[in-house]
């Protein structure tokens, strides 16, 4: 694989590129993309590998919402899967949680078609999928008892609009179940297809990382991911963000969900550290005056349960 010159990339992008390539020789190497081509490259023979992977990982969503009967809250309820991916988990909300009806929404036509084909292939009824725009959920007011979003809120174009729509389609007393990483979390850069390096987005700007990543993707197809678009701005306009992310952070939650009743909001800290490092991290995170950005840096993911008031 030929290497671009430092002058063509810039010094910082060249260093980021070198760091990412070195990671491929360690446990921090990339896990590859999620496209059909990436699964084919891994010689996965399943007709719907993305949906099957989601279905196999179905329990993980509920494992984050601890001390609240999230799974049971779906039984005999109308459920919206906001950001339903390839339909694998959506199907399991109907099949394993016994939801009365499950509707999945996604902004991409091809994913919606694959989701429909998948549930037809598995002969699961009571599940439907629709294309959803960036600002409007295509269902009437008060259509659902529960809205689920799993690793979605950090991607939406404008979180205030998405959460307002979740409020609109929920019935009074309905639940919004959310699991998502915060932007400044050590593992929240969403570059895991190419590297699992913790905190790499703290060291390099979004533009630098995109330049470095694209220089690798241009010559190495093994990561199964297209060239990345230019970085954008966080939804609050505070800073630049990596592609497909909106900069959602823990301090945004009280404002975004201000109309809801907070049932449970939990911060789940990084895993896989040494016992001593874990103990220190937990102690620091428990101190009230530690800045939220520092606490976000130690956060693997957030889980949040909100209820639309009954009256």
Verify that 202 and 261 share a domain, yes or no: no
CA atoms of 282 and 177, how far apart (whole Å): 25
Q: State the pLDDT confidence band at 34, using cuts at 50, 70 and 90.
A: confident
Does 1 fall in a domain?
no
Q: Is the pTM of this model over 0.85?
A: yes
Stretch 286-311: mean pLDDT: 96
Does 36 fall in a domain?
no
Verify that 128 and 258 share a domain, yes or no: yes
Does 163 fall in a domain?
yes
Does 100 fall in a domain?
yes
Verify that 127 and 274 share a domain, yes or no: yes
Position 223 scores a pLDDT of 86
3-state SS, one letter per residue, for the chain: CCCCCHHHHCHHHHHHHHHHHHHCCCCCECCCCCCHHHHHHCCCCCCCHHHHHHHHCHHHHHHHCCCCCCCHHHCCCEEEEECCCCCHHHHHHHHCCCCCEEEEEECCHHHHHHHHHHHHHHCCCCEEEEECCCCCCCCCCCCEEEEEEECCCCCCCCHHHHHHHHHHHEEEEEEEEEEECCCCCCCCCCCCCCECCCCHHHHCCHHHHHHHHHHHHCCCHHHCCCCCCCCEECCCCCCEECCCCCCCCHHHHHHHCCCCEEEEEEEEECCCCCHHHHHHHHHHHHCCCCCHHHHHHCEEEEEEEEECCCC
Per-residue b/e over 174-188, b at no fewer than 16 CB within 10 Å? bbbbbbbbbbbbbbb
Q: State the pLDDT confidence band at 7, using cuts at 50, 70 and 90.
A: low
pLDDT digits (tens, 9 = 90+) for 68-82: 999 999 999 999 999
Verify that 303 and 225 share a domain, yes or no: no
CATH code (residue 70): 3.40.50.150
Q: Which domain holds residue 264?
A: 49-183+245-307
Select from 62, 129, 64, 43 the least CA-distant residue to 91: 129
Select from 86, 1, 82, 90 the least CA-distant residue to 38: 86
Verify that 144 and 274 share a domain, yes or no: yes
Q: Is residue 6 predicted with pLDDT exceeding 60?
A: yes
Does 43 fall in a domain?
no
Q: Is residue 307 predicted with pLDDT exceeding 90?
A: yes
Position 232 scores a pLDDT of 97
Q: Is residue 2 predicted with pLDDT exceeding 70?
A: no
Position 194 scores a pLDDT of 96
Stretch 227-246: mean pLDDT: 97
Q: Decide: residue 306, CB within 10 A, 0-12 exposed, 13-18 middle, 19+ buried.
A: buried
pLDDT above 90: percentage of residues in the chain: 89
Helix orientation angle between 109-122 and 88-95, rounded to the nearest 10 degrees: 40
- Please identify, among 202, 223, 241, the residue that sits at the C-terminal boundary of a domain: 241
Verify that 14 and 141 share a domain, yes or no: no
Stretch 32-36: mean pLDDT: 85
CA atoms of 239 and 101, how far apart (whole Å): 40
pLDDT digits (tens, 9 = 90+) for 181-227: 999 999 999 999 999 999 999 999 999 999 999 999 999 878 888 89
Structure tokens, 15? 């260093």
Could you give the number of structural domains in the chain? 2
What's the whole-number average pLDDT of the chain? 95
Does 44 fall in a domain?
no
Verify that 157 and 290 share a domain, yes or no: yes
Stretch 262-273: mean pLDDT: 97
- Region of poorest pLDDT, from 119-123, 133-137, 262-266, 300-304: 133-137
Does 55 fall in a domain?
yes
Position 5 scores a pLDDT of 62
Position 119 scores a pLDDT of 98
Q: Is residue 281 predicted with pLDDT exceeding 80?
A: yes
pLDDT digits (tens, 9 = 90+) for 100-154: 999 999 999 999 999 999 999 999 999 999 999 878 999 999 999 999 999 999 9
Verify that 147 and 295 share a domain, yes or no: yes
Verify that 216 and 95 share a domain, yes or no: no
Verify that 152 and 268 share a domain, yes or no: yes
pLDDT above 70: percentage of residues in the chain: 98
- Region of poorest pLDDT, from 131-135, 203-207, 245-249, 284-288: 131-135
Q: Is residue 49 predicted with pLDDT exceeding 60?
A: yes
Verify that 119 and 67 share a domain, yes or no: yes
Verify that 116 and 234 share a domain, yes or no: no
CA atoms of 151 and 11, how far apart (whole Å): 33
Q: Which residue has the tokens 């950001």?
A: 83
């Amino acid at each position: 694989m030929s290497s671009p010159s430092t002058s063509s990339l810039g010094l910082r992008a060249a260093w980021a590129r070198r760091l990412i390539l070195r990671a491929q020789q360690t446990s921090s190497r990339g896990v590859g993309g999620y496209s059909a081509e990436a699964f084919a490259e891994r010689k996965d023979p399943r007709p719907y590998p993305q949906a099957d992977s989601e279905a196999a990982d179905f329990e993980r969503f509920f494992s984050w919402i601890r001390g609240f009967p999230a799974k049971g809250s779906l039984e005999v309820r109308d459920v919206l899967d906001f950001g339903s991916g390839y339909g694998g988990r959506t199907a399991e909300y109907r099949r394993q949680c016994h939801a009365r009806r499950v509707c999945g929404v996604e902004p991409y036509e091809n994913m919606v078609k694959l989701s429909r084909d998948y549930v037809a292939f598995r002969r699961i009824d009571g599940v439907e999928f629709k294309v959803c725009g960036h600002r409007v959920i295509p269902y009437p007011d008060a259509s659902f008892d529960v809205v689920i979003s799993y690793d979605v809120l950090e991607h939406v174009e404008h979180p205030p609009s998405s959460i307002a729509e979740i409020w609109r389609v929920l019935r009074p007393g309905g639940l919004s179940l959310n699991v998502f990483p915060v932007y400044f979390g050590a593992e929240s850069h969403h570059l895991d297809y190419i590297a699992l390096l913790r905190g790499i987005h703290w060291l390099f700007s979004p533009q630098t990382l995109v330049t470095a990543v694209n220089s690798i993707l241009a010559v190495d197809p093994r990561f199964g991911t297209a060239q990345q678009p230019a970085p954008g701005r966080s939804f609050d306009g505070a800073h630049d963000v990596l592609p497909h992310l909106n900069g959602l952070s823990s301090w945004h939650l009280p404002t975004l969900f201000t109309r809801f009743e907070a049932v449970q909001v939990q911060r789940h800290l990084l895993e896989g550290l040494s016992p001593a490092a874990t103990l220190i991290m937990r102690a620091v995170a428990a101190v009230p005056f530690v800045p939220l950005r520092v606490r976000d840096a130690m956060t693997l993911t957030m889980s949040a349960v909100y209820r639309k008031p009954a009256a």
